[in-house]
Structure 1
Amino acid sequence: MTIESAAPKTAMQRFLDAVEKVGNMVPHPVVIFLILIGIVMVLSAVLSLFGAAITFERINPETHKVEMASTAIRSLLNIEGIRFIYVSLIPNFMSFTAVGLMIVAMIGAGVAEESGLVTALIRKLVIVSPRWALTYILSFVGILASIAADAGYLVLIPLAGIAYLAVGRHPLAGLALGFAAVAGAFTVNMLIKPLDAVLVEFTNDAAHLVDPSRSIGLASNLWFSIASVLFLTVVIAFITDRVIAPRLGTYDPKLAAEGTTTEQGSELAAHESRGLRFAGFGLLALIAVFCLLTLPSGAPLRNPDSGELIGNSPFMNGLIALIMLMFLVTGWAYGIGAGTLKTLPEVIAAIEKSIKSLGGTIFLFFVLSQFVAYFTYTNIGTVMALSLSSALQAANIGALPLLLGFIVVVAIIDLLLTGAIAKWAIFAPVFVPLLMKLGVEPEAVLAAYRVGDSPMNAITPLNAYFALVVGFVQKYDRNAGVGTVVSLMLPYVVWMFVLWTALFALWKMLGLPWGL
C-alpha cells in the first residue's frame, strides 16, 4: 500500500504499518485455512489422548430446557473422525449459510450495480450530504444494517468504499468504516431484530433456573442498544477520520485491480436523475406489495401462530429476500429510466456477470466451511469457552467486576466461536443464574453479552465475511492482503471494545434502565 503524507508518522501508525507488512507476508487465505485444518487435526488428536472433557449445563435450542451435557475433545484422526471428514464434505459446504446469502444478495446487487443505480445513489448521497457528515451517515447506516442479518456485509461495506472514492477520499478508509460498523456493532440496533428473539428466549430459560416467574421481553435492552448505536456511530466515525484516513493518505488509482472503476463522480446527468425517479417508483411499488403481505391481520408473512410481524416471523426470517428484491426491482427500474438496462435478457446477463465474479470467493468459502465444521466437531472451542467461564465463576469477585470479566471472556471466545446464538446457549445458563443470585438483573447480563460478542467480529478470520472484505480491499489495492485488513481494523476493535465496555460500566453504575 502506498501511503502519501507529509506529516511524520505517529508511533501507532508505524505499529499498524508493521502489522500490515507482517500480515501480508502470510499465504493466500485458502492456504491459511488449509494450514489451520491441519493444525486442528493434529491438536484434536493430541488433546483427545489426554481425555480432555467437561460437564456443563446448556440450553437445548429445540426444547429451550436446561439440560446437563458433557463435552470431550474429539479427534479427527481416529476412525470416527476420518469417517466424518469423508462423508461431511458436501454437507459442510451446503450448510454454510454465507454462501447462499451471498449468491441471493448478489442477484439483486448485480442488477443495481450494472444498471448504474449504485453509483448514482452514492453520488446523490455525496451531493446532498455535507462532506463532514458522510462518515457519520455511513457509520450509522452500517450499524442499523444488522436488521437485515448478514446482508450488510454484502451491501453496505462496498457502498462505503464507493462513497469515499466519490468524494476524493481513500476507498479503503470507507471499506474499513463499513466493516467496523456492520461487524463490530452487530448485536445492537435501534429496532428489534430476529436475533433478539433468540437471545431473549435463551435468557429467560436461564433466568427460570433461579426464579420461574422472572422473564424479560424483546425490548429489554432497547434503551441500551439505542444509546450504543449512537455512541458507536461517533466512535467509528472519529477513528476513521482521525486514525485510519490520515494513515492511508492520498489514494493512488493506479493501485486498483484491473477493471475497477476509480473515477470520481460529479453532478448527475439528466438520464441519471430520470433513472433515480424510476427507481423511486419501483421502490414504492415494492413497498405497496409488501404492505399487503405484512400489514393485514393473517397476512402470509406474519407469524401464523402469534400474528407478530417484528420478531419471530416469516417476514423477519426471510428478510434477505426483501433486500434482493429491493435491489433487483429498483436496479431494473433505474435501468429503464436511464436507458442502461431495459430488457429481461440484459437483466439476466447482469445477474450472470455478478455471479461469475464470485468464483474465487465461493471456493474460499468451500475451504472455510470445512475448517469451521472440523473445528466444531472437535469441541476445542466449546471446552475452551467452558474452562474460561468456570475460572471466572470461581473468581469470587463482585457483580460489576464479574460482568466486566464476562465481557472479556466472551470477546476472547468470539475469536474462535463467532456464532452469537451458539455461544449464548452455553454462557446463559452459567452466568445469568450466577449474576441473578448477586442481585444483577438478567437484562444487564444480556447487555454485557452484546458488548463482548460484537467488536471481535471485525478481526477474526473465522468471520465468514472476513475473506470477502479482503476481496473488497484488493479491488482498490491489488497489493493488499490479510495484513492490510487486520491493520485497518485493529484501531476499531481496540477502541470500540474499551469505550463500549466503559459505557456499559457507567450505565450499570448509574442504574439506568436497560430497556422497556
Structure 2
Amino acid sequence: MSTAGAVPKTVMQRFLDGVEKVGNMVPHPVIIFLILIAGVIALSAVLGIFGTSVTFERINPDTHELESATTSIRSLLNTDGIRFMYVSLIPNFMSFTAVGLMIAAMIGAGVAEESGLVTALIRKLVIVSPRWALTYILAFVGIIASVAADAGYLVLIPLAGIAYLAVGRHPLAGLALGFAAVAGAFTVNMLIKPLDAVLVEFTNDAAHLVDANRSIGLASNIWFSIASVLFLTGVIAFVSDRMIEPRLGTYVPDEDAERANEGAALSASESRGLRFASFGLIGLVIVFCLLTLPGGAPLRNAETGELIGNSPFMNGLIALIMLVFLVSGWCYGIGAGTLRTLTEVITAVEKSIRNLGGTIFLFFVLSQFVAYFTYTNMGTVMALSLSSALQAANIGALPLLLGFIIVVAIIDLLLTGAIAKWAIFAPVFVPLLMKLGVEPEAVLAAYRVGDSPMNAITPLNAYFALVVGFAQKYDRSAGVGTIVSLMLPYVIWMFVLWTLLFAVWKMVGLPWGL
C-alpha cells in the first residue's frame, strides 16, 4: 500500500503528521499497557502511603438515600493489593465484556464476510448511493449503531473502511469516519436504548435530594438527542471530507485488494445471493416479532412489559446482531454458491475467530490494567476532586454547565464508562444546578455532550486497539499515533460545536425531550 498527494499540506495537516510520527514511536499497545500497569502499581503505593482520600456525598444504590462516604487510594503493593492482583487475574479477563461481545459479533460477521455478503452489500450501497452521500450515510448509521451497545465498533467501523475502498477512496478515512461516529456520539441516539434507563435512574435519584416529586422519563433528552444525531452527522461528514481525506491523499491498494473491488455491477450469482439473504433476514425478523411484539412475549420485561428500555430484547441485542449476520450470510452463501454446507459455515467462523488471537491477548492485558486502576480508586478520587473544585467556583448556571462538560471530557480520558462516571457526578451536579434553577434534563444532556467525543482518542477505550488493528489491514505501519492523528480533528470539532449547540439550546429554552 502507498499513498500520494500533490496538494500542499496545511499547517494543521503538518501538525497532525507530527502527532502521527511521534505517536507511532510509542511501543506496541501491549507494551504500553504493561508500562501503565507498572505505573498504576507504583503510584498507588505512593499515594497510599500518604493516605490520599476524598469525602463526598453519594446515593446509596439500595436505599436510594443520600449518605456520606470516603474514598481512599488503595495500594496494590500492600497485603490486600498483592492478594487482589494474584487471585483476580482470570476473573478480570472473564469479566471484561468487550471480549465476549467481540467474539459473538465476529461469529456472525465472519460468516457474512466469508460468504461474500459484506462485499456484495457494500457494492450495492455504492451503486445506489450518490458518491457524496456515502459519507453522510455511514456517519448517520455509525451514530445510530450505539443502540446495539458496543456492536457498532465491531461491525460498522470495518464496513466503513470497506465501503470507502469500494469507491476508490482512502479506507483509513472510512475507518476514522466510522470510529468518530460510533465512539464520539455514543450517548445520543434517535431511539431509546438501555443506557438511557440507567442514566435516567441515577438522575432521578439525584433530583429527589432536592425535590422528592421531581422525576424525568426515559425520553427526557429525546429532542436534544435527535438534533445532536443530525448535527453530528453533518460535523463528522464535513471533517472527513474536508480534513481527513485531503491529508491522507490517494490510496493505492495492493493487487489483491484492487482485483477484489473491480467491477461495480453485481453478478447473477451475487444478486441471487442477496435475494436469498433477504429471505433469511425476513424470516429472522418474523421470528423476533413473535418473540417481542405480543403482550407477555419472552423478550419483553417480565414485570413492566416494556420492550424498548430495560428488557431482555435490548439487553441481549448483541445476539440479534450476531444472528442477522449469521443467517443472512449463510443464506447469501447458499444463493451465491459460496457457503453451502454447515461445515463450511463452521470453517468460516473458525477462520474469523483465529484472526482475533492478537486482539484477545491485548484485551487480556488491558483487562488487568482496567481492574487495577479501578481497584486503586485513583480515577474516582480525581473525578471527585475536580467536581468539588468546579462546585466551589461559585459561577452562574450556564458557565457551570459548560465547566461541567469540560470536566466530564477530561475524566473520560481515564474513566470511559458512561455509567460509572454518572454515578459519581449525578449526586453532585444535579442537586447543585437544580438549586440554580436548571432542570435535571439539562444536566443529563450536558453529561451526554461531555462524555462522548473523547472516547475516540483515549487508548483506555477497550476498542481503540482494535481500530489500530483494522487500520493495519490497509497500512502495515499504522499505529497508535496514526489513529490519534486521524481522530483529533473529529474530537476537537465535535466537542466545540456540540458544546455550542448545547449552549444555544439552553439559552433559547428549547425542550430537551418529552
TM-based fold match above 0.5:
yes
Kept in 1: contact 2:2–2:253 (CA 8 A): no
Residues 171 and 261 of structure 1: is their aligned pair in 2 closer, same or farther, counting only changes over 3 Å?
farther
CA distance in 2, matches of 1:231, 1:165: 26
Letter in 2 for 1:383: V
CA deviation after TM superposition for structure 1 residue 69, in Å: 1.9
Q: Residue 100 of structure 1 corresponds to which residue in structure 2?
A: 100
Cα deviation, 1:129-156, whole Å, max 9, x if unaligned, reads 0000000000000000000000000000
Q: Residue 186 of structure 1 corresponds to which residue in structure 2?
A: 186
Aligned partner of 1:443 among 419, 441, 465: 441
Q: Residue 293 of structure 1 corresponds to which residue in structure 2?
A: 291
CA distance in 1, matches of 2:263, 2:62: 52
Instruction: Give unpaired runs (5+ residues) of structure 1.
Output: none
3-state SS of the aligned residue for 2:68? strand
Matched, 1:497 2:490: no
Letter in 2 for 1:193: K
Q: Residue 208 of structure 1 corresponds to which residue in structure 2?
A: 208
Q: Residue 134 of structure 2 corresponds to which residue in structure 1?
A: 134
CA distance in 2, matches of 1:141, 1:60: 38
Letter in 2 for 1:238: F
Q: Residue 279 of structure 2 corresponds to which residue in structure 1?
A: 281
Q: Residue 513 of structure 2 corresponds to which residue in structure 1?
A: 515
For 1:32-431, what aligned pairs fall within 5 Å after superposition?
32-254=32-254, 263-431=261-429
Taking structure 1 as the reference length, the TM-score comes to 0.98
Residues 66 and 271 of structure 1: is their aligned pair in 2 closer, same or farther, counting only changes over 3 Å?
farther
CA deviation after TM superposition for structure 1 residue 66, in Å: 3.5
CA deviation after TM superposition for structure 1 residue 252, in Å: 2.2
Letter in 1 for 2:347: A
Residues 356 and 61 of structure 1: is their aligned pair in 2 closer, same or farther, counting only changes over 3 Å?
farther
Kept in 2: contact 1:260–1:475 (CA 8 A): no
CA distance in 2, matches of 1:450, 1:62: 25
Deviates most, 158-167 or 65-74: 65-74
Q: Percent identity between the aligned chains? A: 85
Cα deviation, 1:344-367, whole Å, max 9, x if unaligned, reads 000011111101110000000000
Residues 62 and 475 of structure 1: is their aligned pair in 2 closer, same or farther, counting only changes over 3 Å?
farther
CA distance in 1, matches of 2:351, 2:68: 50
CA deviation after TM superposition for structure 1 residue 108, in Å: 0.5
3-state SS of the aligned residue for 1:476? coil
CA distance in 2, matches of 1:83, 1:304: 40
Cα deviation, 1:89-135, whole Å, max 9, x if unaligned, reads 00000000000000001110000000000000000000000000000
Kept in 2: contact 1:253–1:262 (CA 8 A): no
CA distance in 2, matches of 1:509, 1:264: 53
CA distance in 1, matches of 2:79, 2:450: 38
CA deviation after TM superposition for structure 1 residue 5, in Å: 1.5
Cα deviation, 1:422-465, whole Å, max 9, x if unaligned, reads 00000000000000000000000000000000000000000000
Letter in 1 for 2:9: K
CA distance in 2, matches of 1:343, 1:355: 19
CA distance in 2, matches of 1:373, 1:475: 30
Kept in 2: contact 1:51–1:73 (CA 8 A): yes
Kept in 1: contact 2:58–2:427 (CA 8 A): yes
Cα deviation, 1:290-337, whole Å, max 9, x if unaligned, reads 000000000000000000000000000000000000000000000000
CA deviation after TM superposition for structure 1 residue 50, in Å: 1.1
CA distance in 2, matches of 1:155, 1:404: 34
CA distance in 2, matches of 1:86, 1:152: 34
CA deviation after TM superposition for structure 1 residue 264, in Å: 4.6
Instruction: Give unpaired runs (5+ residues) of structure 2.
Output: none
CA distance in 2, matches of 1:164, 1:219: 35
